[in-house]
Amino acid sequence: MNRQYGCDIAVIGGGIGGCAAALAAAEAGLRIVLTEETDWIGGQFTSQAVPADEHRWIEQFGCTRKYREFRNRVRGYYKANYPLTAEAMRSDRFNPGAASVSRLSCDPRVALSVLQDMLAPHIHAGRITLLLNVRPTAADTDGDTVRSVTLEHTPSGDRLVVEARYVLDATECGDLLPLTGTEYVTGAESRRDTGEPHALEGEPEPLDIQSVTWCFALDYREGEDHTIEKPAAYEFWRSYQAPFQRDRMFSWTPLKTNEAVKRFSLFPETGAFSLWDYRRIADRTQFAPGAFDSDLTLVNWPQNDYWLGSVYEVPEEERLRHLEGAKQLSLSLLYWLQTEAPRPDGGSGYPGLRLRGDVTGTADGLAKAPYIRESRRIRAEFTVKEQHISPELRGAYGAEPFRDSVGIGSYRIDLHPTTGGREGFYIPSLPFQIPLGSLIPVRMDNLLPACKNIGVTHLTNGCFRLHPVEWNIGEAAGALAAYCLRRGVSPRQVRRDSARLADFQNALVQRGVELAWPVMGPV
């Protein structure tokens, strides 16, 4: 059965960027179709189970007003619905998990509820039509214009066709780019082509892509045994060690000796970095006694990064094999933790670790979708490169200022091990601006990126892929499509006409989008 939908803007992909784009466009009074491949909107926050990675100034500045509203609503949700300690209830900066990686580490189900609440007025008013469990399979184009996108409803196999005046690609892997014939790049560029000091020598490698991670949630029940069935790939992963690793992947010392973290541990112990605290989403000491029997933590660790192959730009059989490989790696890590992980008391294994599929909303206990760090990326009117944001190259001048800024972000250039067999790195960057040119494809007129698929490189993607930046990208894309439809202009015209650009930037500022940083140092 085929169903037809017509709208002003189709937002394909319901992750962080997709939700932000839909909100911005709906608040401008336009009709939106928002689609999502799983049954949970929210992407990194929810279906991928990745607590927010944010910069150190996030509580004061450095994000859009709408993103700050989301953060405030998360805290408000806990204070309205959970029995907190008096201290936690009073705190303006309450962090549910007190995670070491995040200033707001929350349960994916809470993030989902908040995003649903933010979308609800527009859904109820008919401005947003939300379609879940659908994935794009085809697109109809006319020259440089996308006319419609065809989606498959995965549970039933039904086809849905969405016709729109603007199409925003907010999919996790940039799936609309090949379907629409939009020019794009993947993987690692050559230094010869980009001039980036840390780019590859020699030829580019389009399939040298950052690892994916299939996250999962755990609690711990001392004295109980929740050991899972031994995964089929356990023996492989138990002995696996990449050439760039100091020790086997399943060890407390997998990283090279020159890394800042020399040794990991599960729970806090002297001289080690606690992985339990790293991405914890419920610190039971902040809740009333008895509210939680255990902390809750999310496992997105160095030991379950999967880099043995790509999950896009490969045949479907290979894609599915690597997705299953990522699942097997995560389940094997859990089994190792439960049965063989060295304990500080000289014993082995923590059988009390319990997989919490209720937290991730799945029967197998893993997240609904893998965490995708690196997407296909449009060939854009402007591409942000390492030399625009590197303190080594920019010195005291700060990141390159962009006259067409549509937002800001900050994170180190963080590259996890890649499918090309490279270790990756974690190097400083300067707080940066998001140029409008990076959101405009070199040819297509009515397709905009709204996720990690903007005009960045393999390297700069490493600091543009985090939660608040993805939100800002999506919000700017949604606002841009709405602006263009209201005024009868194209994104290219907005960028090239200084008066129109200033008018659009003023509209962003009125939305609470910050276009420039105060004077900052490297992060």
pLDDT reported for residue 521: 64
Tens digit of each residue's pLDDT (9 = 90 or more) over 265-300: 999 999 999 999 999 999 999 999 999 999 999 999
Q: Which residue has the tokens 């189709």?
A: 10
Whole-number pLDDT of residue 13: 98
The predicted pLDDT at position 260 comes to 60
The pLDDT value given to residue 1: 63
What are the pLDDT digits (tens) for 97-125?
999 999 999 999 999 999 999 999 999 99
State the average pLDDT for the chain: 96
Could you give phi then psi for residue 15, rounded to 5 degrees? -75, -160
CA separation, residue 467 to residues 45, 149, 163, 336, 355 (Å)? 8, 26, 29, 30, 25
Question: If pLDDT is split at 50, 70 and 90, which confidence band does 257 have?
Answer: low
- Answer yes or no: is pLDDT of 397 > 90: no
Is the pLDDT score of 51 beyond 80?
yes
The residue-averaged pLDDT of 53-71 equals 96
> Residue 519 has what pLDDT?
78
Taking the C-alpha atoms of residue 140 and residue 370, their distance in angstroms, rounded to an integer, is 28
Q: Which residues contact 274 (CB under 8 A, 6 or more apart)?
A: 100, 264, 265, 266, 267, 268
The pLDDT, as a whole number, for residue 262 is 75
Please give the backbone phi and psi of residue 192, each rounded to the nearest 5 degrees, phi first: -60, -35
CA distances from residue 502 to 176, 408, 498 in whole angstroms, order as listed: 30, 17, 6
Rounded distance between C-alpha atoms, residue 207 and residue 319, angstroms: 12
pLDDT score recorded for residue 259: 55
Confidence of residue 151 (pLDDT cuts 50, 70, 90): very high
Per-residue confidence (pLDDT) for residue 2, from 0 to 100: 81
pTM, 2 dp: 0.97
Radius of gyration from C-alpha coordinates of the chain:
22
Mean pLDDT of 222-229: 97
Token pair for 463: 């600091």
